[in-house]
Structure 1
Amino acid sequence: MQSSDPTAVLAPTRTATRWPWIVAGAAFLTLVAAAGFRSVPGVLMDSLQREFGWGRGTIGFAVSVNLVLYGCFAPFAAALMERFGVRRVAGFALVAIAIGSGAAVFVTAAWQLVLLWGVVVGLGSGSIALSFAALITGRWFVHRAGLVIGVLTAGSSTGQLIFLPVLSRLNEHVGWRSAALTAAGAALVAGGIAIAGIRNRPTDVGVLPYGAPQGYAVPAVTSSQGSLQRALSVLGRCAKRPAFWLLAAAFSICGATTNGLIQTHFVAAAHDHGMPPTTAASLLAVVGVFDIVGTIASGFFSDRIDARVLLVIYYTLRGLSLYALPRLLEPTAEPSTWIFIVFYGLDWVATVPPTIALCRQHFGADAPVAFGWVFASHQIGAAVAATGAGVIRDRTGDYELAWLLAGSLCIAAAVMSIMVGRVRQRVPASA
């Protein structure tokens, strides 16, 4: 068993200056490049439908498999990183993403799309999900942890900002296969960045985490548990606490209303209202611009304000914006559409820093793996929305019911968030 004694391993005495920021910068660039694939399904949905005749529910199912594996593998990936090292796991994961995205150019049947986009890319992307960012932050930063997790979380949005317009134009002018290959190439670049810039722990380079005082003690890292046992044992401990289920339920709604609904279906929904796909993709990229601002600000506030209050604000505002969306989509980007884009962008993954902060408060040293399980619920919610919204569109001819249901779920998530108990003393965690 891994020791729970916080003085089990003494940290080096040399103060960390550049290494924590080098590692954080490499992790940020890795997340930016890896975000290339997450921009692919929404951009290519109409092209795949035209070429193969698949319904949006069928394509959405492939995305759903990806999202479920992306989320459900995250806690095991966090345990694998603890056991085998961040660099090694991240490198293998990015190669898997490159293979799944690149080989998709040869698909001729829907099950092949599910296998490549769903299974292969889902397992790869799940290995460098937000638990990866939580692990990097927890190991390398004592001070400014909220701000750093906000910046790393914004990495995916930055990738969306970069890749959405590029992939959309490639899809329109060259073909959808060129967009898939570009995403594969970005994953390979991300693998090189991870290997070059990431180190597993501060002790590997003889420094302290950022902000750690002299004599700071590092928890013991040697564990006889396998990754599967570690992930399941943490789940068993967390499942006994109501806070875990409240966080998981609220975060599943977060996933449903971002990755599952807007990221997967916004471009297609806007196109239903006469908006050109490239314009809709550019609007979604602007969501990424404001998401960077919102997420970094959320990380800053998470160091200073009760995380539960932040989540109540974020989920309530998101729900109200989704109620308004059916009346905002037009053939052109009207001022009201821009208001939604800016508003939703600021709120997109602003929920992540306070959710991680609550995991750290409630689950202590188990927090990275615990957040992996909470993140799994995020992706299960996203998967349900990706398929469900496609089915609603196929059955009713539009997405209005999907927007209204999602808005109501956000209000429920706000209620769940305030019900998470305040922690006066950090819970010690054994491993």
Structure 2
Amino acid sequence: MSSLPSRSPRIHYAWVVAAVIFVVLLCAAGVRATPSVLIVPLEREFGWSRALVSSAVSVNLVLYGLVGPFAAAIMQSFGIRRTTLISLAIIAAGVLLTTQMHAPWQLVTFWGVLVGLGTGTTAMVLGATVVHRWFVARRGLVMGMLTASTATGQLIFLPLLAILVARHGWRTVSLVVAGAIASVIPLVALLVRDRPADVGARPYGAAPDAEEHVAANVNPLANAIGALRRASKHRDFWLLAGSFFICGATTNGLVGTHLVPACMDHGIPEVRAAGLLAIMAVFDLVGTTMSGWLTDRFDSRWLLFWYYGLRGLALLYLPAAFEMSLFGLPLFAVFYGLDWIATVPPTVRLTTQTVGAADGPIVFGWVVAAHQIGAGVGALGAGVVRTTLSTYTPAWVVAGAICLAASALVLRIGRGQRLATA
């Protein structure tokens, strides 16, 4: 592989790795978006309550987050390619096994545990690790592009999955998703390399005399716990984790899981409802990529202030949007979509500024863990609210309020001290 850069001198191999990881994250995003179109079909076939189905989604989301810091540490010890290949195989197996389930414990085991563990490795920590190893220049932009793959995954998968559910049933959806994940495995095996040195290159934008940092080969568990122990001494780590908890609760947990079922409660067919998430995905692709560009140029704290504040206003508007005949929900989809996960690039930057480059990817994994715990709480909480009150309105209102609180919280990051340059 050392001859690859010489055969393609105009394209740094970092962009090849980033492109393949974009595809991996895109397909993983399709897996994570799938429950939103399965909730109602599972209710109808098995008689499972929305709270019960949401509990499996909640387990998935929480494990997705908790495995992140350990995945980052495992990548440091065993490599990006090997870790990614194993996680893709676990995802494909977990999704495929759901076609045979008949009891709630199987839903929790296959979708909650197996898929949660697999997608937790092929997640934002994977993108952060690739950006940290392969790029010195354009880090914010590349992180924005990789994060935007979540939106693109929704754009590609959700409308198709909604049509498949309506015409062929939910098991066909599981087969299609498992096949998509399996098809990415050869691409990773052939093209992904762990470090620039593996192809005789330096990180993109690195100075010619710069030495590449290679992490010590230590126990991944000890490395992850050690990074958390060091980070926990920083007040800013807790501010970042707390704000990202709110981010997860109001995106993956609430809107990502429950918007389609909420639309169906208002008489909107699931294909049209999935189309709203696709519209959201288009605008999030723009918004998150732009957020990466802005993160390279402006104070990340103020970016997060605006992102959380505008998201809160969008969620407070949502109950009224359901009552509007024509433009209500599309307007929400556009406005909310621009802000869906635009928080990631500035959060990655602030994490690295807080704890340093060496611990940055692993500590960001812990921040993502807080995000996904929030997502689990949001998914389960909204399911309980809907089951108990037969409406999602209180869930939308509470989510909007805590987003406004997060917009004030992030301005305290770095207060009274000078953040390091990332």
- TM-score past 0.5 threshold: yes
Task: Provide, for residues 241-275 of structure 1, a one-character-per-residue CA deviation record: whole Å limited to 9, x for no partner.
Answer: 00000000000100000000001000000111111
- Is the 1:46–1:268 contact (alpha carbons within 8 Å) kept by the matching residues of 2? yes
- Report the equivalent of 2:39: 45
Secondary structure at the residue paired with 1:348?
coil
- Is the 1:392–1:398 contact (alpha carbons within 8 Å) kept by the matching residues of 2? yes
1:313 is aligned, of 298, 306, 309, to 306
Gaps of 5+ in 1: 1-12
Give 1:59's aligned amino acid: V
How many residues are treated as equivalent by the alignment? 414
* 1:16-415 to 2 correspondences below 5 Å: 17-223=11-217, 225-330=218-323, 334-364=326-356, 365-415=358-408
Gaps of 5+ in 2: none
Give 2:346's aligned amino acid: P
Task: Provide, for residues 305-352 of structure 1, a one-character-per-residue CA deviation record: whole Å limited to 9, x for no partner.
Answer: 0000000000000001100100111596x2122111001100000000
Residue 221 of structure 1 deviates from its aligned partner by 2.5
| Bigger mean CA deviation after superposition, 75-84 or 322-331 | 322-331
Give 2:17's aligned amino acid: V
Change (3 A) 1:410 1:148: same
- Report the equivalent of 1:5: none
- Report the equivalent of 1:3: none
Question: How many angstroms apart in 2 are the aligned matches of 1:286 and 1:330?
Answer: 19
Secondary structure at the residue paired with 2:332?
helix
Question: How many angstroms apart in 1 are the aligned matches of 2:301 and 2:220?
Answer: 31
Could you tell me the percent identity over the aligned residues? 49
Residue 179 of structure 1 deviates from its aligned partner by 0.4
Change (3 A) 1:16 1:234: farther
- Is the 1:363–1:427 contact (alpha carbons within 8 Å) kept by the matching residues of 2? no
Relative to the length of structure 2, the TM-score reads 0.96
Secondary structure at the residue paired with 1:378?
helix
- Is the 2:202–2:212 contact (alpha carbons within 8 Å) kept by the matching residues of 1? no
Question: How many angstroms apart in 1 are the aligned matches of 2:47 and 2:153?
Answer: 30
- Is the 1:164–1:282 contact (alpha carbons within 8 Å) kept by the matching residues of 2? yes
Question: How many angstroms apart in 2 are the aligned matches of 1:426 and 1:84?
Answer: 29
Change (3 A) 1:165 1:150: same
- Is the 1:103–1:116 contact (alpha carbons within 8 Å) kept by the matching residues of 2? yes
Secondary structure at the residue paired with 1:214?
coil
Question: How many angstroms apart in 1 are the aligned matches of 2:421 and 2:333?
Answer: 39
Question: How many angstroms apart in 1 are the aligned matches of 2:176 and 2:235?
Answer: 43
**What value does the CA root-mean-square deviation take over the aligned residues?**
1.6
Residue 425 of structure 1 deviates from its aligned partner by 5.5
| Bigger mean CA deviation after superposition, 404-413 or 29-38 | 29-38
- Report the equivalent of 1:8: none
